[in-house]
Amino acid sequence: MWLLLKVADIVVHSEPAKARIYIQQAEVLSQKLKFNAGIIRCNENIGESYSLESKTDSAMMYMEKNLKFTREINDSLQIGIALLNIGAMYRELSEYEKALSYSLEGKAIFERKKDNSLSSQVNDALQILYYSRTEYDKAITYGIEAVTQARKQTDPFLLLKPLINLSLSYTAKQNYEVSNRLLKEALELAKPMQNPRVDAVIMQNLGEIALKNYNIPLTEQYVTKSLAIYREIGDLESQSICLRGLSVCYLQSRNFSKALQYADSALAINRKNGFLKEEAAILREISLINYAMGDIKEGFINDDKSNLMLEDLIKKVTSEQSANLEKKYETAKKEGEIIKLQNEKKIQELSIQKKNQLNYVLMGGALILLTLFLLAYRNYKQKQNLQTQRISELEKEKQLLATEAVLKGESQERTRLAKDLHDGLGGMLSGIKFSSIP
């Protein structure tokens, strides 16, 4: 499996479609073996191969697939890498807000890991992002950090990338001396790697610096070498950029026919492949050639075409941004409505809860009152019973006293009679049993 991926790595920059065949074979093996590291690597590499062909949608599909898989297996390191890759895809789509969000989320994961090699790659991704947003100072800050971290690593490729990318921001800031120095260091690092795309990019960037310094022969030298490599590896968009660069060189040296020849070649590639941004740029270059040749009318026509294309591109970007903002607004609105309904539900629940509490209190109060009433009633009944008993007792006492009096009288009478009848024996014994109150 790893052997297939190694072969793919060798050819991916020159033949992305061919590399995909090897990667897909490796993917089948990884799935069969349930080898997570292999599955992740294959998703990344297939995504990269599509990205090299400027097939961003296909690349994004595999990057998102990878993020989903890494989250399923809960691999935080690979989650961070997947986030970073998606951030790069959004950068290519000029969706900088999403790109920044994914990149910073990935950065937070790597910072917790305290891995300089990973942090270097994150900072490199962020410098590219800020460069794309024309925030060159921020790009330089992240780029310097990426280079510093990469210098501590043993893999020269980790240093090569941030060096090249950092040079772009210095070029944009017109600090050509620093930019040139960074690219020359990168060129030396790249020699043992034998990576044609890297060589082409470095020389292309050196050609731009030479052009900014009005060194046309040196510009032509670098750009011609880059063009040859891009033709070899089949990178059409980069070929178009180099052809435009050569057109500029010949325009500056007043070789108008050759300038127009290279410009027309670039225009044909752009129109055939839908490279709209490059098409607008080359139409602008053709208009300059027209003006230089004295063909003012044709110059105006091509200039207008270029401006219209740029306006359409701007409208497309702003339209997508507006659609995204509108979508966010609608989402926020719906979320607001949901929160409102939830709050209303909570208020209703609280109201019901309070009513229930009040009912419980009232029921409790009624129960207490009933209990008190029953206790009072029982107390009253007990008192009434006591009183009845007392009355009964008093009546019995009275009856007893009366009886005793009768008996006493009778005794006296008997005594009197005994005296009269020689004394009779016996008498009536009195006793009263009191019941305790329960």
Q: Which of 125, 131, 128 is nearest to 106 (CA)?
A: 125
**HSE of 435, CA atoms in CB hemisphere, 13 A:** 11
Q: Which residue has the higher pLDDT, 403 or 174?
A: 174
> Long-range contacts: 19-27, Cβ < 8 Å, 24+?
19/45, 19/49, 20/46, 20/49, 23/49, 26/1, 26/2
Q: What is the pLDDT of residues 68-126, one digit of tens each?
A: 999 999 998 899 889 988 988 888 887 888 888 998 898 888 888 777 778 888 899 89
The yes-or-no verdict on residue 433 having pLDDT over 60 is no
Q: Which of 111, 108, 31, 106 is nearest to 69 (CA)?
A: 31
Please check whether residue 85 is in contact with residue 63, taking contact to mean a CB–CB distance below 8 angstroms: yes
The three state secondary structure string of 192-205 is: HHCCHHHHHHHHHH
Fold classification of 1-114 is 1.25.40
Taking CA atoms, 238 is separated from 82, 222, 359, in Å, by 26, 14, 79
Q: Domain spans of the chain?
A: 1-114
- Neighbouring CB atoms inside 10 A of 178's CB total 15
Gap between the Cα atoms of 281 and 263, Å rounded: 10
The yes-or-no verdict on residue 330 having pLDDT over 70 is no
**What's the pLDDT score for residue 94?**
78
Least trusted range by pLDDT, from 46-50, 202-206, 322-326: 322-326
Q: Which of 236, 65, 416, 265 is nearest to 57 (CA)?
A: 65
The chain-wide mean pLDDT, for the chain, equals 80
Least trusted range by pLDDT, from 53-57, 157-161, 292-296, 317-321: 317-321
Max CA pair span of the chain:
181
Gap between the Cα atoms of 150 and 116, Å rounded: 7
**What's the pLDDT score for residue 10?**
80
Gap between the Cα atoms of 49 and 4, Å rounded: 15
Please check whether residue 201 is in contact with residue 164, taking contact to mean a CB–CB distance below 8 angstroms: yes
Confidence band for 429, pLDDT divided at 50, 70 and 90 = very low
Average of pLDDT values for 334-343? 64
Please check whether residue 209 is in contact with residue 179, taking contact to mean a CB–CB distance below 8 angstroms: yes
Gap between the Cα atoms of 276 and 312, Å rounded: 10
**What's the pLDDT score for residue 358?**
55
Query: Alpha helix (H) ranges present in 234-275?
Result: 236-252, 256-273
Percent of all residues in the chain with a pLDDT value above 70, rounded to a whole number = 72
Q: Enumerate residues 6+ apart whose C-beta is below 8 A from 234.
A: 14, 15
**What's the pLDDT score for residue 311?**
87
Q: What is the pLDDT of residues 125-164, one digit of tens each?
A: 899 989 988 999 999 999 999 999 999 988 888 899 999 9
Average of pLDDT values for 287-313? 93
The yes-or-no verdict on residue 341 having pLDDT over 50 is yes
Is the pTM above the cut of 0.75? no
Percent of all residues in the chain with a pLDDT value above 90, rounded to a whole number = 43
Least trusted range by pLDDT, from 24-33, 212-221, 263-272: 24-33
Gap between the Cα atoms of 299 and 302, Å rounded: 5
Taking CA atoms, 228 is separated from 163, 233, 242, in Å, by 23, 9, 9
Q: What is the pLDDT of residues 22-68, one digit of tens each?
A: 888 888 988 888 899 999 999 889 998 898 887 888 999 999 999 99
Q: What is the pLDDT of residues 160-196, one digit of tens each?
A: 999 999 999 999 999 999 999 999 999 999 999 888 9
